[in-house]
Amino acid sequence: MTIHQQPRVVVIGGGTGLPVLLRGLKKYPIDITAIVTVADDGGSSGRLRNELDIPPPGDVRNVLAALSDVEPLIEQLFQHRFKTANELSGHSLGNLIIAALTSITGDFVRAIQEMSRVLNVSGKVLPAANQSVVLHAEMEDGTVVSGESKIPFSGKRIRRVFLTPEHIEPLPETLDAIRTADLIVIGPGSLYTSILPNLLVPKIGEEVCRAKAKKVYICNLMTQAGETLDFTASDHVRAIYDHFQQPFIDTILVNNEEVPLDIQERYKEEMAKPVYFDIERLTDLGLDVIYDEIMTYEDGVIRHDTDKVSEILYSLLMESKNT
């Protein structure tokens, strides 16, 4: 089966959740397009964004690494983070390479394309926009917090998020990928700072709402202080719908595995707890609910089980292709 005959899957997200999922999905005979947020303004990405006036490379770097097919040492080199006492401290080599390629080619998207070739990437990696965007959150008390890295630390409940500048152009390839997709996967990732910043780029959210493909939302396993404190699964979905004034998700993938008490205790320090999956409310929202054991632990950190989630998504894809 050639790449053009393979079913097309668009995955939208950012942060740590998206690369975890992509490592499993790339094992299947599918044509993957990953749409990655460019709202990050913290750490190495934020410094390069400010100093070089380029979109933040960090989330893109992690997705490139996840979809790469190179020797483990090459990927390790690309992901290497410097720990020094000078200005290199905190930068990852991959971020610096993407920044250098952006300077050489004069274009962030072209830099990603070149890096994709070097790393033998499966599928396409597309930034949500070919420019930096600033994420703002309007809180329930009416105050506005600006900057993706600052929003979770405001200590207030978020009413909505929005982007500036006012004029942001998505890539034509991104819109084409959404229109021609057989399956659109949203998440996993931080609701307000990884998922919505992609969907809020003008035309991207609208195209997702209109797309004929089945849309699957992978709900987070744990709540996040400063973003989704005490949120249930249906609260996550309602927050997305509130930004678009319409329902558009067909299926939600939720976890039915108990989180061990010792790990729950560790997460309590971050004011995080397992998301309560309120199945009845999800059904009332018109969603098909897939309820399965989709969780794994690594060094006491909870992650989605990439192999299990990918298997479920591929089954959904095959079902939709055969109907």
What average pLDDT does the chain have? Answer: 94
8 Å CB contact between 17 and 253: no
Residue 276: predicted pLDDT: 94
The string of pLDDT tens digits covering residues 237-253 is: 999 999 999 999 999 99
Characterize the bridge pairing of strands 251-255 and 288-292: parallel
* Percentage of the residues of the chain whose pLDDT score is greater than 70: 98
Per-residue pLDDT band for 85 (boundaries 50, 70, 90) equals: confident
Residue 155: predicted pLDDT: 87
Q: Which of 305, 313, 287, 308 is nearest to 183 (CA)?
A: 313
- The residue type of 54 is I
Q: Find tokens 């420019």 and name the residue.
A: 131
Q: How many residues does the chain have?
A: 323
Rounded to whole angstroms, the Cα distance separating 47 from 53 reads: 10
Per-residue pLDDT band for 196 (boundaries 50, 70, 90) equals: very high
Q: Which of 275, 320, 312, 306 is nearest to 292 (CA)?
A: 312
- Residue 19: both structure tokens together: 């690369």
Q: Which helix (H) or strand (E) holds 31?
A: strand 31-36
Strands annotated E in 154-250:
158-164, 183-186, 214-218
Residue 320: predicted pLDDT: 80
pLDDT above 90 for 15: no
Per-residue pLDDT band for 323 (boundaries 50, 70, 90) equals: low
Q: Which domains does the chain show, CATH number per domain?
A: 1-38+169-323 (3.40.50.10680), 41-126 (no CATH)
Per-residue pLDDT band for 195 (boundaries 50, 70, 90) equals: very high
272-294: average pLDDT:
95
Handedness of CA 1, 309, 36, 173 (dihedral sign): positive
8 Å CB contact between 102 and 114: no
pLDDT above 80 for 2: no
- The residue type of 277 is F
Give 15: exposed, middle or buried? Use CB within 10 Å, 0-12, 13-18, 19+: buried
194-211: average pLDDT:
97
Rounded to whole angstroms, the Cα distance separating 172 from 127 reads: 11
Omega cis (within 30) before 202: no
pLDDT above 90 for 88: no
* SS3 at position 214: strand
Q: Which helix (H) or strand (E) holds 298?
A: strand 295-298
The string of pLDDT tens digits covering residues 44-63 is: 999 999 999 999 999 999 99
Residue 48: predicted pLDDT: 94
At CA 323, angle to CA 284 and CA 195, rounded to 5? Answer: 50
Q: Which of 233, 235, 173 is nearest to 207 (CA)?
A: 173
pLDDT above 90 for 1: no
8 Å CB contact between 173 and 124: yes
pLDDT above 70 for 3: no
275-299: average pLDDT:
94
- Residue 258: both structure tokens together: 């108990």
220-233: average pLDDT:
94
pLDDT above 80 for 4: no
